């Protein structure tokens, strides 16, 4: 489906749809689609800072190499007047905010998920809580509802189903509705046939 056709669909604000489509294009390295979405975002007044936040968050899902390429395209197609920096919570607040956000997303499964992460490796647990949640996901540049929709879209693209379910439920807990979740998947996935299979798990 063309991106302009997606923009004509109801159920999801155009600005959020731009962010979801941009993030979804990074995983398959579809830089033509990514560039198309950036151009549309720029034309329609989506703040560049929201794309920057989307790319910073994408690092947690896709890794540094993909996001280096994405920032390269962003810089080429939509140059910033000065190099962006900052925007995170004060360092002293990050750890506590990250733990609270993690608990809000995982609810009654909070302790079990943290124990699972710690069983993999203590450093991995600390990185997830301190860097991913404390430093990146708590950044105030995007609200938690939007960040969780972005996460759900990215995880659906990657076919990481348990993690998709957790973050889709997180999006709902932060105020998204099921139509917004469906439209997130319509925007992120090239094949709509899998959408109902994903939604029934949430």
Average pLDDT across each block of 10 residues of the chain; the chain has 202 residues. List them in order: 92 97 97 97 98 98 97 97 96 97 95 97 97 97 98 97 96 97 95 87 94
Residue with tokens 């929709």: 149
Q: How far apart are CA 159 and CA 183, in angstroms?
A: 17
Residue whose pair of structure tokens reads 């997606």 in the numeric block: 6
Give the whole-angstrom CA distance, residue 99 versus residue 114. 10
Indicate whether 8 and 106 sit together in one domain: no
Its domain, for residue 124, covers 91-134
* pLDDT of the residue at 75: 97
Tally of domains in the chain: 2
Looking at the structure, do residues 15 and 75 belong to the same domain, yes or no? yes
Q: What is the CATH number of the domain that holds 21?
A: 1.20.1290.10
Unique residue bearing structure tokens 């360092």: 91
b/e map of 133-150 (b: 16 or more CB within 10 Å)?
Answer: bbbbbbbebbebbbbbbb
């Amino acid at each position: 489906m063309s991106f302009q056709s997606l923009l004509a669909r109801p159920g999801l604000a155009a600005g959020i749809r731009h962010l979801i489509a941009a993030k979804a294009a990074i995983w398959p390295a579809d830089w033509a689609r990514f560039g198309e979405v950036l151009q549309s975002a720029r034309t329609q007044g989506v703040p560049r800072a929201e794309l920057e936040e989307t790319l910073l968050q994408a690092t947690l899902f896709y890794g540094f190499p993909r996001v280096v390429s994405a920032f390269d395209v962003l810089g080429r197609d939509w140059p910033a007047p000065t190099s962006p920096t900052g925007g995170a919570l004060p360092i002293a607040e990050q750890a506590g905010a990250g733990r609270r956000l993690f608990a809000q997303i995982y609810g009654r499964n909070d302790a079990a998920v943290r124990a699972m992460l710690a069983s993999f490796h203590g450093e991995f647990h600390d990185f997830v809580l301190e860097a991913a949640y404390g430093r990146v996901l708590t950044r105030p540049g995007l609200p938690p509802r939007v960040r969780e929709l972005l996460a759900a879209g990215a995880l659906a693209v990657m076919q990481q189903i348990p993690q998709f379910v957790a973050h889709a439920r997180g999006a709902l807990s932060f105020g998204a509705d099921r139509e917004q979740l469906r439209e997130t998947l319509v925007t992120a996935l090239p094949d709509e046939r899998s959408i109902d299979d994903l939604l029934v798990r949430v």
